[in-house]
Amino acid sequence: MGVQIFLLDFSHTYDLIGRMIDTKQRILDAAEKLFGEKGYDSTSLRQIISEAKVNLAAIHYHFGSKQELLDQVIIRKAGPMNERRLKLLDRFEAESAPESAALEKIVVAFVLPAILVEKSPGFVKLMGRVHAEGLMPEIARRNFQPMIARFLSALHRALPDSSQKELIWKAHFALGAMSIALTASPDVDPETAAESPTNLANRLVAFISSGFRAPATLD
């Protein structure tokens, strides 16, 4: 393998060492940056190849389609994010054993990793867009479902009086609240712009936890 790279370095097709073997990463990096900045459909593959300095067809060789490229961009980031969520949840549950973890802790474990990953260029902003563009179905099932199931069972232990259906609906509401918090853009409302990740997480946790403790309906 090292030999191949060495040989290719002397051909006219490749002007820099390594350019060939990191093509996939270069595409992913460029795609993540541009998707996050301008949205999925406003970003053309030709803009991505220009940023990544690769050939157009290389995208279809490595990913097959623009949609599949988006999936891979998300999976690359979502994997570590969901792992952090589960790690945090494990820790909180271990700390409170044999009691179940406090509701607030569970919510923190879910919310915080998502807010922190936002530091990378526009990833969660992208997630929010993706969610509402209806591009989620397959990607969600494969990469988020196990994590979601784990959190639902933790919630069920923390709130034993709530039915499964109630918890699923509230989890939806919580996801919506978080999603909008991460996508809130400075231009819509200047006052919401300058909020530190920690403050935002605190606001979210307070709001969501209280919602989970509310009765299912008021009737």
Partner DNA sequence: GTCTATACTGAGATAGAC
Partner DNA sequence: GTCTATCTCAGTATAGAC
The binding site for a second copy (CB under 8 A) comprises 39, 41, 104, 128-134, 136-137, 140, 164-166, 168-170, 172-181, 183-185, 187-189, 191-192, 195, 199, 202-211, 213-219
Q: What tokens were used for 11?
A: 């051909």
Interface with DNA (CB under 7 A), residue from 11, 185, 196, 217: 11
In which residue are the tokens 């191949």 written? 4
Interface with DNA (CB under 7 A), residue from 5, 6, 17, 64: 64
209 binds DNA (CB under 7 A): no
Task: Calculate the alpha carbon distances from 64 to 48, 57, 60, 69, 81 in Å.
Answer: 15, 9, 4, 8, 25
31 binds DNA (CB under 7 A): no
- Centroid of chain to Cα 19: 28
Instruction: Please tell me the distance from the alpha carbon of residue 109 to that of residue 165, in angstroms, as a whole number.
Output: 22
Q: Considering beta carbons, is residue 102 or 116 the nearer one to a second copy?
A: 102
- Where does this chain touch DNA (CB under 7 A) — which range of 15-23, 91-99, 149-157, 173-181? 15-23
For 113-139, letters b (16+ CB in 10 Å) and e give bbbebbeeebbbbbbbbbeeeebeeeb
Residues that bind DNA (CB under 7 A): 11, 13, 19-21, 23-24, 41, 43-47, 54-58, 60-62, 64-67
